[in-house]
Structure 1
Amino acid sequence: MGVRTHISIIVSDQEAHTSLPRMLQSVARQSTGLDAVEILVIGTGSHASDAPQAWAAIADTGAVRLVESLPDTPAGEALNRAVECSSGRLLLFMRPDYRMDAKFLTTALSVFSEFPKADVMYADYIRIARDKGQGMRSGLVQLPDFDDTLLQTTNFLGPAVMLRRRTWERIHGFRDNTTYRFWDLWVQAATAGCSFFHVNYPLASCEVSNIPFRERAEDGRRKAMLVINNQAYFHMHTLRWAIAYLRGDAWAQAFGFMTIPDSIEVTRMMHEHVMRSMGTDTLLRKAIRQFDRATRQA
C-alpha cells in the first residue's frame, strides 16, 4: 500500500474469558505484520489493572490497550466506542475463543493491497467442537463466494472478518436492538454496496457449542429486528414476515435457527396458515387416509 498499514484488532472480552491468552498467542505467531498491529480489549471492570502488560507480553507487542466500559453498557455500544478509540486502517473483530492462522495478517495485507476495491475480507475456518458428546463436529468449514441471497438468509461469513476503516465509515456501526450484531453489520456493508473478498483457505478457528434454549427462543425476534434495521436489503415479503412476527401474527413462524425466510418461504407460511384456517389441511389428510384404505382393500 506504499505506507505501512496499521491494523486494529478489537477483542470483546466483557466477561474476562479464560481463552483470551490463547487468542493473543495466535497474534504473536503471525509471520509478518505484527509491527503494524494494535490490540484493543473491551472490558467492563472485570480485568486487573495490570492486565494490559500481561497481554502485551503474550501477544509480543506493546500496542495493547484496555477499553473500559460500564458493566451495563450494551455490547454494540462498547464495540463502537472501541472502534472510535482505534487508529487502524483495517479493523478486525475477534472473540477470545477465536484463533488466527499464522498467515492471517500476511494474507490480509496482501488482499487489501492487491485488490483495492475489496472492502471486507472473510476466509474459510476451522470449527472446534466443545461438546463432542452432544453431536458437535470439528472440521474445516469451506465458505462460498459472496452472494447477497445467502447473506439475506444466513450469516455465512464466519469468524475473524476484516474490513477497511473506510467501509466502517460508510455504515451505522453496531446496533443493540438485535444480538445478531455482526450479521447486521455485514448486511449494512452489503446494502452500502461494499465489496466482499473470500479467501479460500482457513485463516481462523473458533469454538462452537450447543445452542442454549434462550438463544433459540429469541432467534425469531433477533432476525426480525435485523430485517427491519435493513429494510432495503430484503424482499418486501421478508419485511412483511418480520413485522408480522413482532406483532405476533399467527402465520409468521420463527423459521429455522439463524435462518431468515426468503420470499418463497414467507409465501408458503401464509398459504399453509390460510389452509389451516379453512380446514383444508384436515380435509386433505382425511382424503389421503380414505385413499390409502381404498387401495389396501383393492
Structure 2
Amino acid sequence: MRKHTVSIIVSDLETHPGLPRLLQSVSRQSTGLDRVEMIIAGNGGHPPSDPAIWQAITGIDAIRLLVLDGSATVSRARNLAAAEAEGDMLVFLRPDHRLDPKYLTTADTVFEDHPDTDVMYADYIRLAPRDNRSATPAMIQLPAFREGLLQARGFLGPAAMIRRELFQRTDGFRDNTFYRDWDLWVQAAYAGGIFHHVAYPLSSCEHHKVSFKERAEDGRCKAIIVINNQGFFHEHTVRWALSYLRGDGWAEAYGFMTIPGPMDVTRMLHDHAMRVMGTDALAEEAIRQFDRAVLHSRP
C-alpha cells in the first residue's frame, strides 16, 4: 500500500526560540522523513534565510520558507501554506510543539488500519515553561471522539493530522475567533470527517498562560464558532450565541472555553426569568421568615 505524503506546516510570524527544537524533533522520526515536506510560514524574520541550513537541521530536503507581509495573521499564514502544500496529509504546528519519534510511524499505522479516518489526534504532554513555576508538566489524556463533546469543548490537542482533501472542504482557519483550531475541527466534523484517537502521547507543547484578553473575549469567540457553524449546533445553542453577541441580559458567557448545550441554555433562560420576576428575592424572604418562626418557637 502506498504510504501517505505529509506536509508539516509551521506558522512562525514572530521568531520563537523553540523552533530549532521542533525541527530537531521532526528530524528524529523513526521512519517516513522521505515522504515529508515542511513549510515554515512567517514574516521574513527567519534566521537563517538559507534553506540548506534548515535542511541540515531537519534532515528533510523538501523544506520551504514562505514569507508573508507584516499584516498576515496566523490563520492566513496557515491557509496560504496549506494552499501550497503537496502532501496527502496536513499537520499544523506551533514552534513550541515537539513530535514524538514514533509520530509518523503511528500515523501510517492509523491510516492503513483505519482507512476511513480523516483526522488523527493523540494524547500529548504539556510542558511547564521555565519562567512559570506555578505550572507543572503533565500527560493530557484525551477522550474518544464524540460530536457532542466537540460541541462543548475544543478538546483536540496539538499535532492533529488531517487529510488535505477534507481540509479543502472546509473554509480553513478563520480570523474571527481566538479558537481557530476548535473552529476548524468543528468544520471538519460537520463536513463528515471521521476522527480517530490515539491513546498515546505523540507530541508535546508548552503550557500556555491564558491572557486577560483571552478570558475577556472567551464568550464572544465561542459564540462566533457557533455562528460560523450553525448547522453543527443545537438550535438553543445557536439562539444563545446570537443573543450573547447582541448583548441580551440572559445570555451568559458560560464556563471558560465551554460552549453551553441546550439544557444549559434553558437553565440560563429560566434563571434570568426568575430574577426578572423577583422570585429569588421572594424565596430569600420566605427563608428568613421561616428561620424567624423556628427561632421564636423554641422554648
The alignment's TM-score, normalised by the length of structure 1, stands at 0.95
| CA distance in 2: counterparts of 1:28 and 1:51, whole angstroms | 18
- Which residue does 1:183 correspond to in 2? 182
Aligned residue identity for 1:225? I
| CA distance in 2: counterparts of 1:285 and 1:129, whole angstroms | 46
SS at match of 1:25: helix
Aligned residue identity for 1:95? R
1:224 Cα deviation after fit: 0.7
- Which residue does 2:126 correspond to in 1? 127
- Which residue does 2:156 correspond to in 1? 157
SS at match of 1:259: coil
| CA distance in 2: counterparts of 1:286 and 1:46, whole angstroms | 65
- Which residue does 1:72 correspond to in 2? 71
Instruction: Provide Cα deviations, 1:55-89, integer angstroms capped at 9, x if missing partner.
Output: 22221222211111111123222211100111000
Contact 2:223–2:244 (CA<8 Å) still a contact in 1?
A: yes
SS at match of 1:65: strand
- Which residue does 1:15 correspond to in 2? 14
SS at match of 1:152: helix
| CA distance in 2: counterparts of 1:143 and 1:294, whole angstroms | 53
SS at match of 1:31: coil
Contact 2:178–2:214 (CA<8 Å) still a contact in 1?
A: no
1:258 is the counterpart of 2:257: yes
- Which residue does 1:3 correspond to in 2? 2
SS at match of 2:251: coil
1:49 Cα deviation after fit: 5.5
- Which residue does 1:270 correspond to in 2? 269
1:106 is the counterpart of 2:100: no
Question: Does the C-alpha gap of structure 1 residues 51 and 43 become closer, same or farther in structure 2, counting only changes over 3 Å?
Answer: farther
Instruction: Provide Cα deviations, 1:29-61, integer angstroms capped at 9, x if missing partner.
Output: 111111111111110122245253332222122
- Give me the CA root mean square deviation: 1.5
| CA distance in 1: counterparts of 2:164 and 2:208, whole angstroms | 32
1:60 is the counterpart of 2:66: no
Q: What pairs with 1:1-298 in structure 2 (closer than 5 Å)?
A: 2-48=1-47, 50=49, 52-130=51-129, 132-134=132-134, 136-297=135-296, 298=298
1:270 Cα deviation after fit: 1.0
| CA distance in 1: counterparts of 2:45 and 2:198, whole angstroms | 36
Question: Does the C-alpha gap of structure 1 residues 121 and 275 become closer, same or farther in structure 2, counting only changes over 3 Å?
Answer: same
SS at match of 2:31: coil
SS at match of 2:133: helix
Aligned residue identity for 2:223? A
Which piece of structure 1 moves more, 117-126 or 44-53?
44-53
1:91 Cα deviation after fit: 0.6
Which piece of structure 1 moves more, 44-53 or 233-242?
44-53
SS at match of 1:223: helix
Aligned residue identity for 1:105? L
Question: Does the C-alpha gap of structure 1 residues 48 and 21 become closer, same or farther in structure 2, counting only changes over 3 Å?
Answer: closer
Aligned residue identity for 1:175? R
1:293 Cα deviation after fit: 4.0
Instruction: Provide Cα deviations, 1:241-283, integer angstroms capped at 9, x if missing partner.
Output: 1001111111111111111011111111111111111111111
Aligned residue identity for 2:218? D
Structure 1 unmatched runs, 5+: none
Which piece of structure 1 moves more, 239-248 or 201-210?
201-210
Question: Does the C-alpha gap of structure 1 residues 25 and 294 become closer, same or farther in structure 2, counting only changes over 3 Å?
Answer: farther
1:127 Cα deviation after fit: 1.1
Structure 2 unmatched runs, 5+: none
SS at match of 1:243: helix
Identity of aligned residues (%): 55
Question: Does the C-alpha gap of structure 1 residues 295 and 206 become closer, same or farther in structure 2, counting only changes over 3 Å?
Answer: farther
Aligned residue identity for 1:224? A
1:104 Cα deviation after fit: 0.4
Which piece of structure 1 moves more, 266-275 or 225-234?
266-275
1:23 Cα deviation after fit: 0.8
